Structure 1
Amino acid sequence: MDIRSIDHIELFVGDARQAAFYFGTALGFRLCGQGGPETGLGGQRSLLLRQADIRMVLTSGLTAEHRASAYVQRHGDGIAVVALEVDDAAGAYAELVGRGATPVTPPTTFTGADAEVVTAEVAGFGDVLHRLVQRRGDRRDFLPGAFESAEPAGGADGLLAEIDHLAICVPPGQLDATVAHYERVFGFAQIFTEHIEVAGQAMNSTVVQSPSGRVTLVLLEPDRGHRPGQIDAFLSEHAGAGVQHLGLRTDDIVTAVGALRERGVRFAGTPGAYYDDLERRVGPVDAPLDRLRELSILVDRDHGGQLLQIFTESMHVRRTLFLELIERRGALTFGSGNIKALYEAKERELAAAGATPAVVAGTAQGVGA
């Protein structure tokens, strides 16, 4: 079984057209296809969006019985399917089920004039599924017969390049079992693990990755020996395990963040004190420090190099799923050093203003994965 990459992600949402408008106008995704009852996708409306190597499907249930409707009712809008490109979908499905994966949808073939796509589905984590996708022929034909393809209007946006990782929250006590499941069933390997503690909150994090290196899952679990924090809040609002944020790689984060801010995307703020000792902490940064400060872009370093990152505010009423923009300059990890740096910066800022340390609780919201 060869898991090559993330073929696409599918979000179950209350209103696919409204969600597509946001992802299009704010983030630069372009509508490339759609499907519904008229194309054989009974009970749902699905829109296909694309930017560079990122493919995203937005699906709304048209009936109360549809699984997208049930998902949204329980969890709110969120990533419900992480599709994995494989060389043989039927073979991968049989192998995964044989290793203990829960079968969901057996192999199905979609055939068009110039393309053939085979898909199958198994359970992943929480209510999120993994769709196995095998493609032959014209790769622009997303799902022959089920989606009407359309060339996107206008040129490529060029701000976002590919999916870097998905950060997944699991309930306390389930991290080790989830990691073991991805190792045993999917053949992933652990590449990074740490315990993160700040401001009385703590979480455990383990990163697993496919042998190809193209599918990376950051698994997060709250440490109940400490006071509740952002992972506990996600699990409560989301009603269980799920994707907390989607990491999107960009080749130029300064340009991307500047452009997205102008389109109305709201990003998490960073205290000015964070930048006072930035270069002492991570070394010289090949970007104007005043511009990083203006845009609230974070910088971290590991043994491989630097990474620049920033998190959006959640665009959902439950304040669950949000996005991360990340530019890698050799770094292989995920910016966990920024948690402590952000907390300490906020503490200095509040101390200078005469505030009490208790005010900084939750400062590191969204950072570290």
Structure 2
Amino acid sequence: LNADSPINEHIVKHGDGVKVVALWVEDATKSFEETTKRGARPFMEPTVEKDEFGEVVRSGIYTYGETVHIFVERKNYNGVFLPGYKEWKSDYNPEPVGLKYIDHMVGNVGWNEMNTWVKWYEDVMGFVNFLSFDDKQIHTEYSALMSKVMSNGNGRIKFPINEPAEGAKRSQIEEYLDFYNGPGVQHIAIATDDIIATVSQLKARGVEFLSAPPKAYYEAIPERLGDHMAMMKEDISELEKLAIMIDADEEGYLLQIFTKPVEDRPTLFYEIIQRMGARGFGAGNFKALFESIEREQELRGTL
């Protein structure tokens, strides 16, 4: 990186993290014009980039903190990624672990900012709030958070937005905001069709995940899944051994696990998720994740 690069400045301030959340659109120029007309702060005017494989149009706007959304129009491009990028060949070719696509990305914002950004996504992006969790649902004896999940019209894009809530000690959202120096992307969730196989392979390659919920969590799975237990294919003891969490909504169930932070700051981490009909997020898993991160906070001495 060049010393005067905007990304270099971002890394100095925030550490490793997410600067750009890119969205594939039909018309990047129209997306830019419409969102800025609705009040979005511009980041990048529509720009055409070309090479021998065609052309890509990109534009961008700011969202929470210093995070930006880049609109990518690539209907006239058939290259490997973007103009200027070449296919990379290497002798190092590990077998795929079954990761498919980004299921959702979660943002952490400051005190009393969640509803501001919910309204921004509604007014500027045309998203809807299809799920909410408050501090009565997501809390421990020490801390709490609130969250609202924003989604686009077809439900393929999901952006949960978290904010801190009052508690006896510093919540994990406050910890993130302190170490990241402001709002930003908390974690990226990647989908798989076989979470047991994916997690087993990732663990074998050294990926570290958050500690498992207590045994009572797994004993309560039949009650938590209700009628969905009949369609459950996974063995509960195998899920417990791998620390995979399971929850349900009205349409099905889902399995999730979360990595530890990927750098020395307790900021960005990853989630592996497998959906078995469920479209949303269960409150049980949300609370279990909150408790797992809080246990890590306690070990770090930052609770």
TM range (shorter): 0.7 to 0.9
Q: Give the one of 165, 176, 180 matched to 1:223.
A: 165
Q: Give the one of 200, 210, 214 matched to 2:152.
A: 210
Q: Which consecutive residues of structure 1, in runs of 5 or more, have no partner in the other structure?
A: 1-61, 347-359
Residues 59 and 71 in structure 2, CA contact (< 8 A), matched pair in contact too? yes
Aligned residues: percent identity? 36
1:309 aligns to 2:256 (yes or no): yes
Q: Which amino acid aligns with 2:170?
A: P
Q: In 2, Cα distance between the equivalents of 1:160 and 1:225?
A: 36
Residues 192 and 207 in structure 1, CA contact (< 8 A), matched pair in contact too? yes
Deviation, 1:236, is 0.8
1:197 aligns to 2:139 (yes or no): yes
Q: Give the one of 264, 278, 281 matched to 2:221.
A: 278
TM-superposition CA deviations, 1:227-250 (whole Å, max 9, x none): 321111111111110011101111
TM-superposition CA deviations, 1:201-246 (whole Å, max 9, x none): 2211101011132211000001135532111111111111001110
Deviation, 1:279, is 2.1
Q: In 2, Cα distance between the equivalents of 1:186 and 1:237?
A: 29
Aligned partner of residue 185 in structure 1, secondary structure: helix
- Alignment match, 1:38: none
Q: In 2, Cα distance between the equivalents of 1:104 and 1:118?
A: 14
Q: In 2, Cα distance between the equivalents of 1:364 and 1:207?
A: 25
Q: In 2, Cα distance between the equivalents of 1:211 and 1:141?
A: 28
- Alignment match, 2:191: 249
Query: Which is further off, 221-230 or 252-261?
Result: 221-230
Aligned partner of residue 136 in structure 1, secondary structure: coil
Aligned partner of residue 74 in structure 2, secondary structure: strand
Aligned partner of residue 234 in structure 1, secondary structure: helix
Aligned residue-pair number: 288
Deviation, 1:96, is 1.1
Q: Give the one of 138, 147, 158 matched to 2:85.
A: 147
Q: Which amino acid aligns with 1:332?
A: R
Q: Which amino acid aligns with 1:204?
A: M
- Alignment match, 1:53: none
Aligned partner of residue 237 in structure 1, secondary structure: helix
Call closer, same or farther: CA 1:237–1:249 in 2, change over 3 Å.
Answer: same
Q: With a CA cutoff of 8 Å and minimum separation of 6, indicate the structure with the bigger relative contact order.
A: 2
Deviation, 1:108, is 1.0
- Alignment match, 2:245: 298
Q: In 2, Cα distance between the equivalents of 1:278 and 1:116?
A: 50
Call closer, same or farther: CA 1:137–1:156 in 2, change over 3 Å.
Answer: farther
Q: In 2, Cα distance between the equivalents of 1:304 and 1:188?
A: 21
Q: In 1, Cα distance between the equivalents of 2:14 and 2:219?
A: 40
Aligned partner of residue 79 in structure 1, secondary structure: coil
Aligned partner of residue 161 in structure 1, secondary structure: strand
Deviation, 1:141, is 3.5
Residues 198 and 339 in structure 1, CA contact (< 8 A), matched pair in contact too? no
Q: In 2, Cα distance between the equivalents of 1:123 and 1:341?
A: 32
The runs of at least 4 consecutive aligned structure 1 residues that moved more than 4 Å come to 151-156, 339-343
Deviation, 1:267, is 0.7
- Pairwise CA RMSD: 2.3
Deviation, 1:156, is 6.8
